[in-house]
Amino acid sequence: MSISTLSQDLTRTTLALLFIGVLITACFWILHPFMSALLWATMIVISSWPLMLKVQELLWGKRSLAVAFMTLLLLMILVVPLFFSIITVVERSDEIVDWTRSLSTLSVPAPPGWVRTLPVVGKRIADNWIHLAASTPAELSARMTPYAGKVASWFASKASDVGIMIVQFLLTVVISAILFSTGEMAAAGICLFARRLAGQQGEEAAILAAKATRGVALGVGVTALVQTLLGGIGLAISGVPAATLLTAVMFMLCLAQVGPGLVLVPAVIWLFWQDQTLWGCIMIVWTMFVGTIDNFIRPILIKKGADLPLILIFAGVLGGLFAFGIIGLFIGPVVLAVTYTLLSAWVVGDISGEEHGADAKN
- Residue of higher predicted confidence among 39 and 354: 39
Q: pLDDT digits over 309-350, tens only?
A: 777 777 777 788 788 776 777 777 777 877 877 777 777 765
Measure CA of the first residue to CA of the last residue in the chain; give whole Å. 39
C-alpha to C-alpha distance for 225 and 157, rounded to whole angstroms: 32
C-alpha to C-alpha distance for 204 and 290, rounded to whole angstroms: 37
C-alpha to C-alpha distance for 173 and 179, rounded to whole angstroms: 10
Residue 269 has pLDDT above 50, yes or no: yes
Q: pLDDT digits over 141-180, tens only?
A: 666 666 655 655 655 555 556 667 777 778 888 999 999 9
pTM for this entry: 0.65
Binned at pLDDT 50, 70 and 90, residue 352 comes out as very low
- Residue of higher predicted confidence among 72 and 8: 72
C-alpha to C-alpha distance for 209 and 215, rounded to whole angstroms: 10
Residues sharing a CB contact under 8 Å with residue 79, sequence separation 6 or more, in sequence order: 166, 169, 170, 173
Residues sharing a CB contact under 8 Å with residue 33, sequence separation 6 or more, in sequence order: none
Q: Would you state the pLDDT for residue 162?
A: 61
**Average pLDDT value over all residues in the chain:** 77
- Residue of higher predicted confidence among 165 and 272: 272
